[in-house]
Amino acid sequence: MKKTLLFASLISLALFSCGEKSTNSETQTETHASGDASSASSVSVNSSKSTSGIIDAYLAVKDALVADDAATAAAKSADLVSALKTYDIAGSQANDPEELERLQVEATDFAEKLATADIAAQRESFQALSVVMKDMLKIAGTDRTLYHQYCPMYKGNTGGMWLSANEEIKNPLFGSSMLTCGRVEETLALN
């Protein structure tokens, strides 16, 4: 009896933590609040078309990881590496070009590591890349609103984040095994 109760409690906690949909309207309200961008903080970023290629390539890798497609993620990482390497810091309107250059180099390094066929290694590199990308885009600007999303269950419950062009949670760190685990932490909104 105790084991059954403990198991049921753990399942309930896991479902609540990851924002899984339920038919219970009370649970849906709580789930919606945890994944809803309106409860997230908002950061104003400069509008910039110069980062469009980087963002497009990053989102293509993210979508491949959401679909559990390591081959496509590896292939799309080449586009991301190219976009990062050709990004013109001098031509940008960034207020901190030295920090932007450091982030560009770091992001490129993580993006190059995505070229592996090991999806677990890709996801780990993608999560690290996402942290750098968020900081980079806050300085360089973006051409669209982006959502910083966070899954508390990633990497042994230490958590992991990524950026998305949509509020809806589609988790690239777990893919189909925990597709909707996560919440919007922050919105990068255009000035």
In 3D space, the residue among 91, 90, 89, 124 whose CA is nearest the CA of residue 110 turns out to be: 124
Residue 25 lies in a domain: no
Question: Could you tell me if residue 165 is inside a domain?
Answer: yes
Question: Which of 41-50, 78-87, 108-117, 178-187 is predicted least confidently?
Answer: 41-50
Residue in the structure block whose two tokens are 């966070």: 150
CA distances from 83 to 30, 89, 103 (A): 39, 12, 14
Residue 98: partners with Cβ closer than 8 Å, 6 or more residues away: none
- 2 found inside a domain: no
| Residues contacting 35, CB < 8 A, separation 6+ | 19, 167, 168, 169, 180, 182, 183, 184
Report pLDDT for 162. Answer: 98
Is pLDDT larger for residue 179 or for residue 16? Answer: 179
Mean pLDDT of 69-96: 93
Tell whether 27 is covered by a domain: no
Name residue 96's beta-bridge partners: none
Q: What is the tally of structural domains in the chain?
A: 1
| Rounded-to-integer distance, Cα 74 and Cα 14, Å | 31
Mean predicted confidence (pLDDT) in 93-109: 92
The answer to whether residue 20 is domain-embedded is no
Range of the domain at 162: 41-190
pLDDT of residue 10 exceeding 80: no
- pLDDT above 70 coverage of the chain, percent: 80
Residue 86 has pLDDT above 80, yes or no: yes
